[in-house]
Amino acid sequence: MYLYPTVQTDVSVKIELQGRLTCTYPEYNNGWNVTANPDGTLINKTDGREYSYLYWEGKGNAIWDLSKGFVVKGEDTIEFLQEKLEYLGLTTRELNEFIVYWLPLMKENKYNLITFQTTAYENNAKLHITPEPDNILRIFMAYKALDNYIEIPEQQLSTFNRSGFSVIEWGGTEIK
């Protein structure tokens, strides 16, 4: 999770997860309290260290909707993710970090069914951020490896325009 205030700002972030957190960095401690800078650098108030973003993983109870999405050859995953993530509103740095994280898990699959699960994700993992951001972009990809191509309706995506204090979060899950 990236925090981009317009001026240096003390920010509190809490996650209300329908499930449990399994890994956080920096340590979550019932929430994160950081000083956020406009360039995205964060100073964690607990340990005084600088971080580029807040990281969390969890086990949730969401039900993913795979009825619309994209079926992409494993070998075409890079180009697909670059195009869609840029359209959705990630910066070059953010989409590079997304791709580096997910590409090793997806590129060798014959096909990937890829969906972006905004509503289910937001319902499963609510954010409580103080002060309240002007806008929040949360991208959560659910994908499933496929042996064969299937036809599904294409998911309609919306682009995101940053203005004011922006919070950007990306994540994903593999559906077995």
Q: What is the pLDDT of residues 67-100, one digit of tens each?
A: 999 999 999 999 999 999 999 999 999 999 999 9
pLDDT for 60 equals 87
pLDDT for 41 equals 99
pLDDT for 61 equals 85
Distance, in Å, from the CA atom of 137 to the CA atom of 5, rounded to the nearest integer, reads 14
Confidence of residue 3 (pLDDT cuts 50, 70, 90): very high
Cα–Cα distances (Å) from 16 to 19, 58, 126, 135, 161, in that order, read: 9, 11, 5, 18, 25
User: Over the chain, what is the mean pLDDT?
Assistant: 97
- Tell me whether strands 42-44 and 32-36 are parallel, antiparallel or unpaired: antiparallel
Q: How many CB atoms lie within 10 A of CB 45?
A: 15
Model-wide pTM > 0.85: yes
Confidence of residue 134 (pLDDT cuts 50, 70, 90): very high
pLDDT for 156 equals 97
